[in-house]
Each structure stands twice: as structure tokens, then as C-alpha cells.
Structure 1
Amino acid sequence: MRRAFLGRVADMIKNEPDTTYFTVDIGMWAIREVLRDYPERCTNIGIYEDGMFSVAAGMARRGLIPTIFGIQPYLIERTLEQIKMDFAYQKLGVNVVATGAAVDYPKYGYSHYCAEDVMIIKSIPGCEFVAPGTAKQFLQLFNQSYRNGNPTFFRISDHPNITYDVDVEFGKAVVMQKGSKATVIAVSVMLDDVMEVCRDKDVTVLYYTTLEPFDRETLANNCQNGKILVCEPEYEGSLLYDIYKSLPNTALKIEEVAFPREIFRNYGTYKEKLDYYGLTKTNVRCKLERLIGE
């Protein structure tokens, strides 16, 4: 996904004179020629995320289309005031693309984790949150939304789906299969595992890559019995508000496969992290079978 994003940025800067790009000491080598040839619109601003956001906001006010690149916790938690006041309050269109989703950087410890990203951004009215599951999906979602005039946050991962690379539309869920016993919500990079578990089950699977705005209509039209399994690579509960709002008159029974809402103090590889916190096919199967009574 990172390679696809940087390639798109290079093309954008070269061919769209109203676009700008800022990074914070990450990804410079991949687009070094663009940084050299377009210094007035393409800049490594250094380790200065909060200042970078304010600069981007100023450019957006002038009618430019800024795109920012960095590491997820620093682009969301370090800059929260700028997101709130510079982007959301002023209704400015800025694209924030971040790597290091959830525990993608396991060897660097808690300072590089950001399982709370969805909750934070969804709590600020007017902000959008996109979580593609593949490089192709990132390009589709970015191209559909980068000029929409809203602050849009793109979470890219180093651990994409491999088997399922379906076409996606900004703001819309994809119905992967239809069934009667439950509805499974698969978010972003969890689609492969969810589909492996669910393909022989009588359940509906909905694939979400836009988490804000959340596609409530598709969920409402594909959840008849109120049984829902949410599989999301972020803190558990990140989508519960929208799920309840989607089905206001339905009694719900919800299971979750997600990161627990706690501080991650243990160490290990990415896979070891997922195993430890239960983001596994085994846990998806266990939670689903419990939900549908098998």
C-alpha cells in the first residue's frame, strides 16, 4: 500500500498543479526526484507533525489540495488539536495518509501503536476515515475522495489482504456473501481471515473500508436477526455507535474480534501480537459459532 500511495503522490504532484505534499522524515527516498523537482509543493517538513498540519490547513484555505504522510500515532494523537481546530472547525479538505496501523510496528513498542485511531477520528464531526485492505483499494478510495473538500484520514497497512481484492467505493460497504444466521462485518485487512471462516457458513459478510462516514444503509438492509460479529483491526467498540444507529429498532446480539481497550505492554512480532489479542481465524470461528449456536 505504501508503494502505491507514494507512486500516486508522485503522479499527482507532477500533473496536478494545485496539489501539495508534506512528509515527516518518512518515504523521502521513494519520491526523491519529486522532492527535488517540485520543492515549492513537495516538502519533507521534518519531525513536526502539528506544525505540518497547520501549514497544510493554510494551503487548503488558499484552494490547494494538501496530502500528508507519516506514522499513524503521530499524525492523529500528537496533532489532535490541529485536527479539531485547523481541519474540522474550518471544514478544510486535507488528506492524511498514515502507515503503522494498530500494531504494524511491533518492534518499536507502545509509542508506535495506534489501535485507537478510528475512535478518535470518528469522534470529531466532519472528519472521514478510510481503511483499505489492499493497495488497489487504497488507490480507488483515494482517487474517489481526495478532492471532496473534507479532512480524510487514510490508514494503510503493511499486512494487506492477499486472496480477496474486491473493488470498493468510498462510503459504501461491499456485500461479500448473503446468509440468514448472522451478519459478519469485516474491516480492512481482516477480510481474508473472515472469508476463510465464513465461506461455508450461512451468514452474510459485509466488507467495510470506509469507517466514517459509515454505510448504515447496507448494514440495515443485510441484518435481519440482529446477530452481528464485528471483526476490526482496531479497538473493540470502534463501530458500535454506528451499528446501533443502523438498527435502532432491532434487538442486537454482538460479538467482537478486535483489540481489547487496554495499553499494549507486551512485545513480539506482528503475528504474535494478533495471536495474543485474538485477531485470528480461530477466534473468528469461535465467536461466530457461539453467536449462531453451532
Structure 2
Amino acid sequence: MDSMRDRFAPVVTRLLDEDPRVAVVLAVVGADGFTEARRRHPDRVVDVGIREQLLVGAASGMALTGMRPVAHTFASFLVERPFEQVKLDLGHQDAGAVLVSAAASFDWPAGGYTHMAPGDVALLDTLDGWTVHVPGHPDEAETLLRHAVAAGDDKVYVRLSLQSNAAGRLVDGQRFVTVREGRAGVVVAAGPMLDAVLAATEDLDVTVLYATTVRPFDAAALRRASATAGTDVVLVEPYLAGTSTAAANDALADVPHRVLGLGVGRAELRRYGRIDEHLAAHGLDARSLRERITRFTAGAVSAGA
């Protein structure tokens, strides 16, 4: 199966052909995928070199002229390094752009901590007005990329990852999808966490919601699920643990509830290993998730049942 990032250049190249507003801004990373697009659209495919602050600044300038820029590089270089430009050039100037990241939280462990960005979504959460898509499969990435570019002049972040569920689902760029219904709690699985969550809860009496658009947070879906499944809520996210706990708490503010946020821990893992080793170390593999969800959810079937 191809990866989400494999879909990025072909999808955006088609968008360049279809819409004269669309432009692509790169900082070396991913430039090889746009060789042909640059030949056809030399004024709308721009590589600024290894200058990530300029990457965001150039995208902002394009947006202010009426274009729809798509900026791409690793998440740590797209959100963390140029955060001041994201905050001011895009946010303060109310300029819309599509930021498309790669490498997710730890997709390239051998690259070291400089190429890891588990805090990217939490960091964007400090700013107003961002839509955040977290696809869990290449087909979903393609759909959400198109949604992002077509979203008027909004500020949109699309988080691509090598981690993927086995099959894609129909997503609309807005709502959570109900994958399984139960009566002993709600588990919200974000993006590529869905398969592990389904394996972990296979015989547990819980509702599983699938979130590929995490901002705005689909409070209505959580409230509907909680009305029948109860108000014990577990959030399983492929980025910093607890990133969405405030949003879940706000959604259920008028009813007694408990929220457990599972995700990537704050401790740096200095033996980088493989992706699956990172998932296990952070308790995001199916076995660890089962133990943690079973302990937390009221009325869940015991692990050995």
C-alpha cells in the first residue's frame, strides 16, 4: 500500500492543474515530487530552500494576494520551527493557507528528536481558527487534502503519517464517524490509532468514534454517543497525550463525566528504534491500550473474559 505522503504530490499537482489560485511552497523536502508540476506551473511551485520561516512567510504573502498556498515539510519544521510566522504571518494577518506535514510524531526515528513533533496539534491549539485534519489512511488523506484546499481562505493543517489503518473510511472533513456502538463508555480514536483501538476494544462494550478532523472538535458526536454509552470518555491520539481533553470536557461540561487522554508522552525516548517500538513505549499499541481502557471505563468487560 502506498503512504499518505505518496498521495500528496499527485493530488496537489492535479489541484494545480484544476485551480489557478493554488500554489505550492516547499523547503527542499518533497521537491522531487513536483518536478513536472514546476515545469507546467513555474510561477506557482516555489522552493525556498532550507528556510522554514520563509516557507510560511511566502505562503502568507501568496494568500494575501488571493492565492491558495499549500506549504509542506516535516511537522517539526512546519509548525514548531516557524511558529512565530504561523502565529503572525498567517494568524495575525488573517491569511489562509494549507500546511501539510510529514513525519508525524516519530515516523522517522532514525532522524532523531529534531524530526519528531508530537506537540504539533497542541501547539496549533494555542491559536484561533485552525482546522486540523488527521487522516488514518492514504485514501482519507487524499479526500482531506482536497477538502483543505477547497476550504475558501481558511487556515488548515493536514497531518500526514506513515502510520496507517488497514482500510480507509468515508470521511467528510467535519464529523466523527461511529464505528462501533456500546454502553460502557466512549473511545475516540484519532487518525491512524483506529485499528489499534478496534483491536484493543474488540470484546469491550464501548462505543468507538473515529476522528480524522479533530479541530473543530465534533462535540455533537461525542454528546450523542455519551447519551447511550455513558460519559466515561477515552481519547486515543497519535500526538501529545491530553491534546483534546479540554475539548472533550467542554463538550460534556453540563453532565458528570470522566476523560482519559492517551497519546504520546512528554518524555523523550533517546533510543530511537522503530515506529512500533515507540508506539509500545508510549502505551499506544493494542495490548497496552486494552489494559488502560479496561482499567478506566466503567462496566467494561474484564481483560480475560
Q: What's the TM-score once normalised by structure 1's chain length?
A: 0.96
Offset of residue 198 of structure 1: 2.1
* Residues 100-131 of structure 1, C-alpha deviations (whole Å, 9 max, x = no match): 10011101111111000110011101122111
2:268 alignment partner, one of 263, 279, 283: 263
One-letter code aligned to 1:133: G
Bigger shift: residues 197-206 or 259-268: 259-268
1:251 alignment partner, one of 220, 238, 256: 256
Which residue matches 2:82?
79
Residue 305 (structure 2) pairs with residue 284 (structure 1): no
Offset of residue 197 of structure 1: 2.3
Q: Which runs of 5+ in 2 are unaligned?
A: none
Which residue matches 1:63?
66
2:160 alignment partner, one of 156, 161, 165: 156
One-letter code aligned to 2:54: G
1:209 alignment partner, one of 212, 221, 226: 212
Residue 135 (structure 2) pairs with residue 129 (structure 1): no
Cα RMSD (Å) of the superposition?
A: 1.4
One-letter code aligned to 2:79: I
Residues 229 and 287 in structure 1, CA contact (< 8 A), matched pair in contact too: no
The whole-number CA distance in structure 2 between the counterparts of 1:236 and 1:91 is 29
The whole-number CA distance in structure 1 between the counterparts of 2:71 and 2:124 is 16
Residue 248 (structure 2) pairs with residue 238 (structure 1): no
Residues 25 and 70 in structure 2, CA contact (< 8 A), matched pair in contact too: yes
One-letter code aligned to 1:154: V
Which residue matches 2:47?
44
Q: Percent identity?
A: 28
Bigger shift: residues 8-17 or 152-161: 8-17
* Count of residue pairs brought into register by the alignment: 293
The whole-number CA distance in structure 2 between the counterparts of 1:210 and 1:91 is 21
Instruction: Quickly say closer, same or farther: Cα 1:236–1:59, change in 2 above 3 A.
Output: same
Offset of residue 191 of structure 1: 0.4
One-letter code aligned to 1:150: D
Residues 73 and 102 in structure 2, CA contact (< 8 A), matched pair in contact too: yes
Secondary structure, aligned partner of 1:158: coil
1:174 alignment partner, one of 173, 177, 182: 177
One-letter code aligned to 1:200: D
The whole-number CA distance in structure 1 between the counterparts of 2:149 and 2:33 is 21
Residues 236 and 257 in structure 1, CA contact (< 8 A), matched pair in contact too: yes
Q: Which runs of 5+ in 1 are unaligned?
A: none
Offset of residue 30 of structure 1: 2.2
Q: What's the TM-score once normalised by structure 2's chain length?
A: 0.92
Which residue matches 1:108?
111
* Residues 148-170 of structure 1, C-alpha deviations (whole Å, 9 max, x = no match): 211111100012111x4111111
Residues 131 and 210 in structure 1, CA contact (< 8 A), matched pair in contact too: yes
Residues 256 and 287 in structure 1, CA contact (< 8 A), matched pair in contact too: no
The whole-number CA distance in structure 2 between the counterparts of 1:236 and 1:106 is 19
Residue 102 (structure 2) pairs with residue 99 (structure 1): yes
Residues 204 and 222 in structure 1, CA contact (< 8 A), matched pair in contact too: yes
- Structure 1 stretches of 4+ moved >3 Å: none
